[in-house]
Amino acid sequence: MERTAVSEGAARIAAVLQHISGDTGKEIDNGSGDASSKGNDSGNANSNVIGTLSGKAVFFGGAGVSTESGIPDFRSEKGLYSAQQVYGHRPEELLSYGMFIREPELFFRYYVENLIDLSAQPNAAHLAVAELEKRGIITAVVTQNIDGLHQMAGSQNVIELHGSNWRPYCVNCQRRYSLEWLLAKSNWRAGSGADRAVVPRCEMDDGIVRSDVVLYGENLSDTALNEAAAVISGAETLIVAGTSLAVYPAAGLVRLFGGDSLIVINLDPTDLDTHADILVAQPVGQVMAEVVRQLDAKKLGRSG
């Protein structure tokens, strides 16, 4: 595949985002301006209204968005190998509802050891996406990740297709627990000599406390799927980043997009590449951070 440089790819993306933001020299209204003087003399009041009503840009992200935060992709070759070597199963088995029921001690060890990293921080990709949401350019984030890093970065409108680590609950009474509580209870530590975790149990009724993460063999939440379908089908621009689209239901959701610009940022080829209007095979964080820089540069260049 032809590799577009970070700056070149970011420039093309910035141009698209600048266009859909209705930004023809007008500043983004951050609520602090003098609203009464706007609209009459700017000449683009109407396009601004349309911009507000339409979906603008939606960011659809996968594992590749979080790898720069040090969160490994358990579906990667390395992840597959280690699951087989250390746990004797494929990740899809270890993270299945069947394993959760049959061997919860092994399930919790794999889950705690491989899918939770309390020290992980939002990277340049999360921060850039949050900044673009703040500016009204990105209207929604649809993510396959369960790490909560988009929210940590400040994104408000996040649709988590596969749920989240951060909302453990009792399967009996639905009582909520913190992730820290779940980690402490599961009591699995590398080097402890144990090869199984302790199953976290509800303090009220002894029910298993699991995370609100969709396991293999379980259905995705209808609410999340419907919300994702709505924002993607209503979007003017779709940025698909850090996902090969191989994981259900990403490919199906992306097919609902009928807007103008499909942007794909992924290191490896994806099934969407031939449909992409802009294709950048570079790390998501580098590209998105550069997009924000270039948008700022355009703004400065105009007013200066």
List residues binding Zn ion (CB under 5 A): 170, 172-173, 175, 202, 204-205, 207
| Closest CB 171 distance from Zn ion, rounded Å | 8
* Shortest distance, position 201 Cβ to Zn ion, whole Å: 8
Q: Which is nearer to Zn ion, 195 or 203 (CB)?
A: 203
User: Quick count: other Cβ atoms within 10 Å of Cβ 16?
Assistant: 20
Annotated catalytic residue, options 19, 89, 162, 275: 162
Active site residue 162: yes
Q: What phi-psi label fits residue 56: left (phi over 0), alpha (psi between -120 and 50 degrees) or beta?
A: left
Are the beta carbons of 201 and 207 closer than 8 angstroms? yes
In the bound state with Zn ion, the residue whose beta carbon lies nearer, of 42 and 172, is 172
Between 12 and 210, whose beta carbon lies closer to Zn ion? 210
255 close to 272: Cβ distance less than 8 angstroms: no
Beta-carbon count within 10 A of 287 CB: 26
CA–CA gap between residue 173 and residue 209 (Å, rounded): 10
Q: How far apart are alpha carbons 100 and 105 in whole angstroms?
A: 8
Least distance in Å: CB of 203 to Zn ion? 8
Closer to Zn ion at the Cβ: 171 or 297?
A: 171
Nearest CA to 213 out of 169, 150, 273 is that of 169
17, 57 contact by CB (below 8 A): yes
Measured from the CB of residue 252, what is the shortest distance to Zn ion in angstroms?
Answer: 35
Active-site residue set = 162
